[in-house]
Amino acid sequence: MRLVRAVLGLLVVVLGGWLATMVFQKPTEAQPPREFTSSRQCMECHAEVYAEWETSWHAQSWIDPDVRALSNDFANTDCIDCHAPRPIFESGIGKRVLPRAARRSEGVDCIACHLLPEGGVAGTLDAASAACRPVAMRDLAKPEFCGVCHNQHKTVDQWRESKYPDQGISCVDCHMPLRDGDPNRGRDHRCLGGHDIELVKSAVELRARRDGTALSVEVENVGAGHSFPTDERSRASDVFWRPKVAPGAQPEAWRHLYRFRSPYRHEVDIEDTWLPAHATWSGRVEDPGSGPLEVAIFYKLSPYWTDPNAPDPDNEARLLHLVEVAP
Amino acid sequence: MRRRVLVALFFGLAACGNSERVPPPPAPAPVHSPAVAQAIAEWTARVPEEPAPEEADPELVDGLVQFLVGADARSHDLPLEEIRGVGDGALPALVHTALDHERPVEQRTAAIELIAAIGTRAAGLQLVELCASTNPSWIRAHAAWRLSELDPAIDVVVPGLLLRLRSEIDHEAAIYVAAALASRRNFAGVEMLSRLASEDPDEGARTRAAGQLAAIVEQEGAADARALIDQWDARAPGFRHGEPSDALRLLAWQWIQTLSGDTFQLRPVDDARFLLMRLGPWIVEPLASALDDVDPYVRLHSAQCLERMGAVARPAVPALTKALDDPRLAPQAAMSLGAIGGPGVRDSLSRAVAKGPNELRVAAARGLGVLGDDAVVTQLTQLYEDDAEPIDLRQAAAESVLELRPGDVGSAQEFLTACLIDPAADVGGAERALDAWLGADGAPIVDAETLDAWKAAAKSEGAIPTPAESRARRATRADVLRSGLARRGN
């Protein structure tokens, strides 16, 4: 009986203590924002955006075989800064980004662009109740934001020198357009650029005509808000021409006319021939023959041809535009 | 009864209390100092500013150029002595002549010779300017050649020469740049000379490179080029290391400042890293001091320079170990420690990989692989086998095991094979690690058929695959390796 009383007494005291704790303890504080260790965590709520980003070249920036080859498998560690950056908001807009040691395979990911230094994320709306605590930040859409990496090769500076800033057209208008043009649907996170052949095609217009016995060719930068091509010195665009042969006959080899490209700094004998926004390049071929001609502009992600003396653009580059010139 | 109630009350209250231990206070945030600004102020005070010279009469200077062109062996030294009397004031006119495309080559080379004859710091810096890539390659070669003849105590030309060494594409000019560096006891160009001496397709360049190399090696009393580099790198006892002038020290600190966040373009940062790590062992101390600078960019890039210097940066190990407590620097510090090595490094990295922020743990796991001490294989194996750990940490641990014990990798290769097709893993990193392993020590582990199939599924040279094509290719390689490893198991 004594034992029962003792146990009951103990229970009463424990229960009393627990109740007192419940009554007098401080109200639960708001949970801190979720800690992000991988951009995969974003997928749980932002499936559409994540799916778009996953197909983007931002997502490939660490694993893309060409990047790995050009950077000597990132033995050239200078490439890591922009290919696996720490959060932009950590270093600050207008400052260089710094490299990260972990999660490199995620490349330029959700965390790199959206994570804020004190936790929470930069977004388009304030939503204190959402798990990621988004804070509306217009900086996300500013060219300077993209410029932390993309102005390393002066792309944002080229845009500043164009007519587009005065027209209110900036990076996101072409590279992250609104989904279906609807502001409520947010922006396309595929971030289409130099790997998207349709977008590249829209950058330039190719014109060719006969001028007496000569062939006159023009390329105009009609769509790129910066030089064409831009950003990477590995990108090149070449203009070729050749006599057009009858259907079914063996086509003649392409003859090189001009290259648009900014050289690497060790290529001291190569001129910078990027085509600035709105600019037109003109070239001529004297006496190309009186028969029908084909003129084409091709685009390459790598500047080198397997055989520099006999470039094979059909197999080593991508066709942007082809113009036929009548006899 | 009362006593029992009191005991019960005691235990009851104890049960209501918080059973968790009070957490320790957070580690104090590292305190940084304006190390770079202070050093620049200190060395600026020590280096006297040279007054701007009065510009010499261009006609007088031109007369000396013409005289030198027409001079014979007996009169050759007269214009050289004369120009020394004129001094730095003659430099603008001489540089103008050297770069004047319409002048005969003889006059332009004579102008370069006269600049060298002036023999001052300013003249040395002008010769480095003439080594710039935009000038014709023969001008660059001549300027570098004349720099070899300049007083070796004028060492402020070394950073400029190192930058030329990096981007010089004309082999002739590169040979003289390497020689000019060696004349200042900087042997950063010796490796390139060795390469040119054995591989250059032009026989003349091969011969000249071999001649320069032999002269440098003989002058230093080294057995061969490799031994010379090793002695220079390793602070070998008895090896006469060049002592930098105050002006060079100031210049080095100014380059360290270039690493700061105020420099937006990566190119100058890249240049700064390149030349700082090649200035010689004396630069380790300034770089170690810079690990404490207020600017996180300076801290990080200084640690990168030390990492690239390898074992020669051992004196920086205490500062790098301290940097493991700096949240913004710790991951890079861990990688640097791995590359540098030294007493206590394995234990520091082993502790870091066991506990801490994920980024530091990943970096420490990589650092342990580079360090090369296989005593940590068990710890790393446990890491990659633990599927509760983050994938990038597991992958870093497995890659390090492949590096540490290539002939006895346990299940690391199986884990990395799985990484090839795991969208959460660094598929490219796994492929590179397996490629390196199969290309060397791992090859005997799989049969020839597997090795051939693995190589056949490599990315084609020059091709630009889509992400889907890359995924398919890696899946093929994963199948190949899995089958090969299974056959071995049977």
Q: How far apart are CA A135 and CA A120, in angstroms?
A: 7
B1 pLDDT band (50/70/90 cuts)? low
Is residue B37 one of the residues assigned to a domain?
A: no
Tokens coding B231: 């002695």
What count of residues does chain A have?
Answer: 327
- Whether pLDDT at A21 is above 80: no
Tens digits of residue pLDDT in B177-207: 999 999 999 999 999 999 999 998 999 999 9
Band the pLDDT of B3: cuts 50, 70, 90. low
Reply yes or no on whether the pLDDT at B161 is more than 70: yes
Coil, strand or helix at B52? coil
Are the CB atoms for B87 and B114 separated by under 8 Å?
A: no
- Residue B38 in any domain: the answer is no
CB pair distance less than 8 Å for A103 and B392: yes
Which residues in chain A touch residue B464, judged by CB atoms under 8 angstroms apart?
66, 301-302
Q: Look up the CATH number of the domain holding residue B96.
A: 1.25.10.10
Q: Which of A288, A286, A228, A290 is nearest to A259 (CA)?
A: A228
**pTM for the full model?**
0.86
Contacts of A84 (CB under 8 A, 6+ apart): A61, A62, A99, A100, A103, A104, A106, A107, A108
- Quick one: CA torsion of A184, A190, A193, A198, rounded to 10 degrees? -90
CA distance B144 to B173: 7
Is residue B172 in some structural domain? yes
Residues A256-274: b if buried by 16+ CB within 10 A, e if exposed: ebbbbbbeeeebbeeeeeb
Q: Are residues B121 and B90 in the same domain?
A: yes
SS3 per residue for B226-293: HHHHHHHHCCCCCCCCCCCCHHHHHHHHHHHHHCCCCCCCHHHHHHHHHHHCCCCHHHHHHHHHHCCE
Q: How confident is the model at residue B246, as a pLDDT? A: 95
What number of other Cβ atoms are within 10 A of residue B462's Cβ? 13
Q: What is the arithmetic mean of pLDDT over A122-141?
A: 90
Contacts of B332 in chain A (CB under 8 A): 101
Is B131 within 8 Å of B143 (Cβ atoms)? yes
Secondary structure (3-state) at B183: coil
Instruction: Let me know: does B307 contact B323? Beta carbons within 8 Å.
Output: no
Cβ–Cβ < 8 Å for B180, B161:
yes
What is the average pLDDT score of chain B? 90
Q: How many domains does chain B have?
A: 3
The pLDDT of B119-145, averaged and rounded, is: 92
Cβ atoms of A261 and A233 within 8 Å: the answer is yes
Same domain, yes or no: B91 and B202? yes
The pLDDT assigned to A5 comes to 75
| Cross-strand pairs, A219 | A206, A281
**Using 50, 70 and 90 to split pLDDT, how confident is the model at B346?**
very high
Which residues in chain B have their CB less than 8 angstroms from residue A302's CB? 462, 464
**Window 304-323 of A, Cβ < 8 Å to B:** 304, 306, 316
When pLDDT is cut at 50, 70 and 90, the band that residue B7 belongs to is: low
Is the previous residue joined to A229 through a cis bond, with omega within 30 degrees of 0? yes
Restricting to A residues 228-287, those with a Cβ less than 8 Å away from any Cβ of B are 265-268
**Does any domain span residue B437?**
yes
pLDDT in tens, B403-459: 998 877 778 999 999 999 998 898 888 998 998 888 876 666 788 899 899 999 987
pLDDT at A259: 97
Print burial letters for B388-406: b (CB count within 10 Å at least 16), e (below 16).
ebbbbbbbbbbbbbbbbbb
Q: How confident is the model at residue B211 (pLDDT cuts 50, 70, 90)?
A: very high
Residues 6 or more apart whose CB falls under 8 angstroms from that of B136 comprise none
The CB density around residue A219, as the number of other CB atoms within 10 Å, is 26
Tracing tokens 């889509």 back to the chain, one arrives at B466
In a domain, B358, yes or no: yes
**Whether residues B351 and B428 fall in one domain:** no
Q: Cα separation of A185 and A179, whole Å?
A: 6
Judge if B170 and B266 occupy the same domain. no
Residue ranges of the domains in chain A?
Answer: 40-185, 197-325
Q: Indicate the range of A292-301, B16-25, B31-40, B306-315 predicted with least confidence.
A: B16-25
Domain annotation covers residue B215: yes
Cβ-defined contact of A62 to B426 (cutoff 8 Å): yes
| Structure-token match 């740049």, residue found | B177
Secondary structure (3-state) at B33 = strand
Is the CB of residue A294 less than 8 Å from the CB of residue A324? yes
Cβ-count burial A14-29 (b if 16+ within 10 Å, e if not): beebeeeeeeeeeeee
- On the question of pLDDT at B19 being above 60, the answer is no
- What does the alpha-carbon distance between residue B407 and residue B417 come to, in Å, rounded to a whole number? 17
What is the average pLDDT across B256-282? 94
pLDDT band at B98 (very low <50, low <70, confident <90, very high): very high
Nearest to A13 among B8, B429, B462 (CB): B8
pLDDT band at A310 (very low <50, low <70, confident <90, very high): very high
User: B345 with B468, same domain?
Assistant: no
* Confidence (pLDDT) at B343: 93
Helices B171-182/B137-149 angle, 10° precision: 20
Inter-chain Cβ pairs, chain A and chain B, closer than 8 A = 123
Within chain B, what is the greatest distance between any pair of CA atoms?
A: 124
Let me know the angle formed at the C-alpha of A203 by A199 and A207, rounded to the nearest 5 degrees: 125
| ipTM given for this complex | 0.81
| Half-sphere exposure at residue B149, Cβ-oriented, CA atoms within 13 angstroms | 14
- Is the pLDDT at A29 greater than 60? The verdict is no
Same domain, B178 and B147: yes
Lowest mean per-residue pLDDT among A56-60, B1-5, B230-234: B1-5
- Residue of chain A whose alpha carbon sits nearest to that of B169: A266
Residues B302-327: tens digit of each pLDDT: 999 999 999 999 999 999 999 999 99
Domain boundary among B341, B372, B403: B372
Kindly report which listed range (A84-93, A155-164, A175-184, B439-448) carries the lowest average pLDDT score.
Answer: B439-448
B90 and B216 share a domain? yes
What is the largest distance, in Å, between two alpha-carbon atoms of chain A?
A: 122
Report the chain A residue with the minimal C-alpha distance to residue B426: A105
What is the number of alpha carbons within 13 Å of residue B93 lying toward its C-beta? Answer: 21
Tell me the per-residue pLDDT of B100-129, one tens digit each, with 9 for 90 and over.
999 999 999 999 999 999 999 999 999 999
Interatomic CA distance for residues B39 and B289, integer angstroms: 9
Token pair of A45, please?
């709520």
Q: Are residues B127 and B196 in the same domain?
A: yes
In the three-class reduction of DSSP (H, G, I as helix; E, B as strand; rest coil), residue B202 is classed as coil
pLDDT of B486: 84
3 state SS of A285: strand
How much is the average pLDDT of B142-171? Answer: 93
Residue B283 backbone class (left: φ over 0; alpha: ψ -120 to 50; beta: rest)? alpha
Q: What is the DSSP string of A40-59?
A: HHHHTT-HHHHHHHHHSTTT
Q: What is the pLDDT of residue A28?
A: 47
pLDDT at position A27: 46
Asked if the structure places residue B17 within a domain, the reply is no
Angle, CA B362 vertex, CA B358 and CA B364 arms, to 5°: 115
Of B233, B268, B302, at which residue does a domain stop? B233
Element (H, E) at A61: none
Q: Using alpha carbons, select from B390, B409, B333 the residue that is nearest to residue B364.
A: B333
- Mean pLDDT within A124-149: 91
CATH topology for A197-325 is Immunoglobulin-like (2.60.40)
Put simply, the answer to whether A100 touches B134 (Cβ < 8 Å) is no
Number of H helices, E strands in chain A: 12, 9
CB A261 within 8 A of CB A273: yes
Range of the domain at B318: 259-372
Amino acid sitting at position B232: W
**What are the angstrom distances between the C-alpha of B438 and each of A79, B441, B451, B453?**
26, 7, 7, 12
What mean pLDDT is predicted for residues A3-11? 70
Q: Would you say residue A19 has pLDDT above 80? A: no
Do B72 and B201 share a domain, yes or no? yes
Residue B10 confidence (pLDDT)? 55
Q: Say what the pLDDT of residue A75 is.
A: 80
Write down the pLDDT at residue B405. 85
Chain B residues whose CB is inside 8 A of the A306 CB are 462
pLDDT tens by residue, B55-82? 999 999 999 999 999 999 999 999 999 9
Q: For residue B335, give the chain A residue with the closest CA.
A: A101
H/E segment holding residue B324: none
Show the tokens assigned to B253: 């600190």
pLDDT digits (tens, 9 = 90+) for A245-272: 999 999 999 999 999 999 987 787 789 9
**pLDDT tens, residue by residue, A30-70:** 555 566 778 888 998 999 999 999 999 999 999 887 788 77
Residue B23 lies in a domain: no
Same domain, B394 and B360: no
d(CA A205, CA B467): 29
Q: What is the pLDDT of residues A217-234, one digit of tens each?
A: 999 999 999 999 998 888
pLDDT higher at A20 or A93: A93
Are B96 and B228 found together in one domain? yes
Residue B447 and residue B482 share a domain: yes
Q: Using the predicted structure, report yes or no on whether residue B52 has a pLDDT greater than 90.
A: no
- Find, among B345, B364, B343, the residue nearest to B355 by Cα: B364
CB contact under 8 A, B133 and A10: no
Q: Which residue of A has its CA nearest to B12?
A: A14
pLDDT for B489: 64
Q: What is the DSSP string of B325-359?
A: T-TTTHHHHHHHHHHH--TTHHHHHHHHHHSS-HH
Please indicate whether, in this complex, the C-beta atoms of B462 and A302 are within 8 angstroms of each other. Answer: yes
**Domain stops at, among B372, B403, B426:** B372
The DSSP secondary structure of B60-92, one letter per residue, reads HHHHHHHHHHH--TTTTHHHHHHHHHHGGGGHH
Instruction: Check: CB of residue A14 under 8 Å from CB of residue B15.
Output: yes
Interface mutation target, options B177, B264, B422, B473, chain A, most CBs of A under 10 Å = B264
